[in-house]
Structure 1
Amino acid sequence: MRDEQSWTWAQGAPEPLPGRGAKVSALDLGYLTGTSLYETLRTYGARPFSLKAHLDRLEAGALRLGYPAPPREELAAALRRLAFLRAPAESCLRFVFSPGERFPLWEAQAPSEGRWTAYASPLPPFPPSHYERGVHCIVSRFRRTPAGGFSPAVKVNGSPDLILARREAEARGAFEAILLNGEGWLAEGASSALFLVLKGRLVTPPISAGILDSVTRSLVLALASRAGLPCAERPLRPEEAYEAEEAFLASTLKEIMPVVQIEGRAIGEGRPGPITHRLLRMYRELTADDTTGDLP
């Protein structure tokens, strides 16, 4: 049965295919070793948001890992085509970039050409009540482990800590799992950046805490600066989450999601606060005015 709610497109195929139609080689290193890079985007007005920032991060990750350079224009064109196929519905977009094929695996020479696969599917069904009343989170028993021993600023598919934390949150009926890093400091959500409001100041863990260099995190910090809100990037003790007046998660798909409870303990007054509401409004104004995701 054709599934035209979702589309996939593998490099080399002449056209995207509905549902699970695209094929990836069994010799692909991303499949064999879990070392592919990936980016997740969404559309507004059926156009990819913050596409340049996501391609920049992909390119930086490929350079750091010694992969071939990703074909930026080809990838951008593929995502725009997939978004068009699902229009006027909004889409969750994802692309995966593998270092390419190699066999036998013990050969040391790196492939000369990477391989990409692109996906388009419906957005996650986050109801308006999540943004109006806030969500509940847990603190995961799993620690945020820098992939390969270096910062998760490189977005690699092989992240079992995040996969296990998401499963843990689902099993406990929570919206998101918040992870600590190896030193016991607050790190990030399993699929989001974490922000707290402490004594009126917006605070988020620094990249050096071993967190993803999130595109949405950077946008939130830029919007807060524009609004004249005091901000800080510093290590955060787990106890500070319970001392916060407000808390929220930030990601491409979640946008700015208010958190009102962590481990059953109310955050602030137990409802979304004014700073969270203000930043969410500014973020949505940005997405309505400019799908590039660049602040003027």
Structure 2
Amino acid sequence: MKPFCFADGQIIPTEKASIHPMDLGFIRGYGIFDFFRTVNFQPLFLDSYLDRFFASAEKTFLPLDYTRAELKAVIQDLIEKNHLKDGGIRMVLSGGISQNHFSPAKGKLFIFAESLIFPAQEKYEKGIKLLSLEYVRPIADIKTTNYALSVWDSMRWKDAGAEDVLYHMNGIISESSRSNFFIVKDGTISTPDTHVLMGITRKHVIELAGEVQIRPISLQEALNADEAFITSTTKVLLPVTQIDEHEIGTGKPGPVSLDLLEKFRKLEKELCY
């Protein structure tokens, strides 16, 4: 965590940020957040992240008493004060202090600046393992702060040498716990269409790919894919070479995945350098 954050309507030392113990964000795990990267002191895809943050606030009935211009100004101030060349910005809106300790109320907005550690280069070169899990994330189109299941279950991943999980229900895949999921079969790229967060990295990967099928994908299809990969803000694009004990394709990152990763890196440079 970097030295300065935004809380109580102003930029303050991060160590002084606080939340009321009866806030729904604390006692019920109810709140929203979003997270984006800074590249060369520039917030990457900021408008898209703000679009999602405002939409999440509206869908969760949480008042957000700041304009887009005001949030952009705060974010720029935080980048400068924290000298955040390549890092992350986390926006959090809590559920508020509710009279009945249950219904959404007026929450508290925090914006934090963070250091960012990417996955090891070896994971991009060799690919990662996912563990299948029968589950659908609640209100999946909203980026809520409720990660209780995945935080608890993450100890299982570590024991199994996995990077993350792959959610599915009735044989149909949705997403990973913090990433979107794609498969490649016979050169065609596909990604799930329902019970998923509309990821910003997902959006730009789809644009870079040119043609992607957005449709239901079965777990069996994923196991039989030529390639698979996940996308997220912090991982960008990570090849998936194993699901449970099943090897995907050749067991190595495929050409389509690696080409898209290279195109995304070029896009970053075009936008931020």
Residue in 2 that maps onto 1:275: 256
- Distance in 2 between the 1:119 and 1:192 partners? 21
Aligned length: 272
Question: What is the correspondence of 1:11-22 to structure 2 with a 5 Å cutoff?
Answer: 11-12=7-8, 14-18=10-14, 20-22=15-17
Contact kept, 8 Å, 2:173 with 2:219, in 1: the verdict is yes
- Distance in 2 between the 1:196 and 1:188 partners? 12
Residue in 2 that maps onto 1:217: 202
Alignment of 1:144 with 2:132, yes or no, is no
* 1:86–1:171 Cα change, 3 Å: farther
Contact kept, 8 Å, 1:38 with 1:58, in 2: the verdict is yes
Question: What is the correspondence of 1:247-286 to structure 2 with a 5 Å cutoff?
Answer: 247-286=228-267
Residue 102 of structure 1, CA deviation: 3.1
Q: Which amino acid aligns with 1:197?
A: V
Residue 84 of structure 1, CA deviation: 2.5
Question: What is the correspondence of 1:90-109 to structure 2 with a 5 Å cutoff?
Answer: 90-103=86-99, 105=101
Cα RMSD (Å) = 2.3
Unmatched 5+ stretches in structure 1:
none
Contact kept, 8 Å, 1:255 with 1:280, in 2: the verdict is yes
Residue 82 of structure 1, CA deviation: 2.7
Q: Which amino acid aligns with 2:94?
A: S
Residue in 1 that maps onto 2:62: 67
- Distance in 2 between the 1:201 and 1:45 partners? 34
Contact kept, 8 Å, 1:83 with 1:91, in 2: the verdict is no
Residue 48 of structure 1, CA deviation: 1.6
* 1:218–1:165 Cα change, 3 Å: farther
- Distance in 1 between the 2:9 and 2:64 partners? 20
Q: Identity across aligned pairs (percent)?
A: 27
- Distance in 1 between the 2:29 and 2:19 partners? 13
Contact kept, 8 Å, 1:70 with 1:114, in 2: the verdict is no
Residue in 2 that maps onto 1:43: 38
Residue 52 of structure 1, CA deviation: 1.1
* 1:152–1:172 Cα change, 3 Å: same
Residue 75 of structure 1, CA deviation: 2.9
Residues 120-153 of structure 1, C-alpha deviations (whole Å, 9 max, x = no match): 221124222221222222213x51232xxxx311
Q: What SS class does the counterpart of residue 95 from structure 1 fall into?
A: strand
TM-score (norm: length of structure 2): 0.90
* 1:144–1:164 Cα change, 3 Å: farther
Residue 171 of structure 1, CA deviation: 3.0
Residues 155-214 of structure 1, C-alpha deviations (whole Å, 9 max, x = no match): 111233333343332232211211113x331111111000000121001110x2x11111
Alignment of 1:170 with 2:162, yes or no, is no
- Distance in 1 between the 2:11 and 2:212 partners? 46
